[in-house]
Structure 1
Amino acid sequence: METRDKINAKLPSDIRVQDVKRVTKNFNSKNSCDARTCKIKVNATLKLFEGSHYFHNYTSGKLPMEPSSLRFITDFEMQEPFERDGIEFAIIKGYASEPVIEESWGVQRIDIPRAPGLGLLLEEVHYERYNYKFEIVDTEEKRNP
């Protein structure tokens, strides 16, 4: 039985290890990571941001109807992973409903939650620099045993 299969046998069914790689002794997955790719469905909600709105509820220190918080958005679509101050997360997780976005344009101050990582799908962790660096070392060691 492969290491990956042994680990997966002990994990909940909705969490899977996709691959296992040998690393150096001092490898730190958090600090060696170049980037993380997460996905979440947002385009339908982002459409609600289109048009002219006061973004005081999304900006620290802005008052309702303050001219400097007025923005006009012509098109708002996600092409890459995106999170906007937690409101999309709150809607998807059921902490808020889509009308909260409409209410956020009004004069009432609304507490917009920050989105935690919970609920996002970590699709890929990128270690290009680490892999490149240690691929060269590994290749040199094979040439000069």
Structure 2
Amino acid sequence: MQLNPDCVSIESILFDAMVKANAISKDNSEDPKKSAWMRAARTDKGVHAAGNLLSLKMQIPTDYDIVERINSFLPDQIRVWGYVPVIRSFHAKNLCDSRVYEYLLPTCAFMKPIPKELTDTPTNEDDIMICNNDPVNPIVKYATRSTPEVIQQRHDYRATKEQLETFATALKEFEGTHNFHNYTNGKAFNDKSANRYIMSIDVSEPLYIDGSEWVSIKLHGQSFILHQIRKMICKYI
């Protein structure tokens, strides 16, 4: 979403379309001091949003439908759904009162771990090399990646009802207000910003994608901190 120099992004394409549609004047778009600044309820790297809310200064011509006009300059995979006039201080990211995240988890994560054997020499060309980065006493070992047989086992794996019930019950313990300093980076236990309010966490019935089994985990919270959700889920796997 973010606008970066010499980089194609959703924001850069949307900004150009809005200029062409006269939602942002061309003069203002070329002057950094006057140009509209889009502020988004953004997502982190690796996270996908079904939709995004932007706040910005824009012109609204009265002689045509501005939404339809903007969409005419956008590729099919990017659409503007509408606009609402707001107060000048409105900020899409900071004034969001809650967020819903959906995390898809393959149920093969519940399989018993398959121990990896470390060897002094590689046994396959795609082995993982593990080293201690010690220039004085370097230690290098190799671990084999998953074999085709293990990959097939994961694809065919089906979680039991008891496993899913235990997992869902465990995640319910996170509901309410808790200190999540151990679920992120760089926050001390007495840092008040580590306190977060989780309204609900729900685990779906199994669903199947290309023959493998997954569950959907929906988390509704006031706000989240870096790595919090993935560490919450991994804690009970």
TM range (shorter): 0.3 to 0.5
Q: Which has the higher strand share?
A: 2
If the length of structure 1 is used for normalisation, what is the TM-score?
Answer: 0.34
Larger radius of gyration: 2
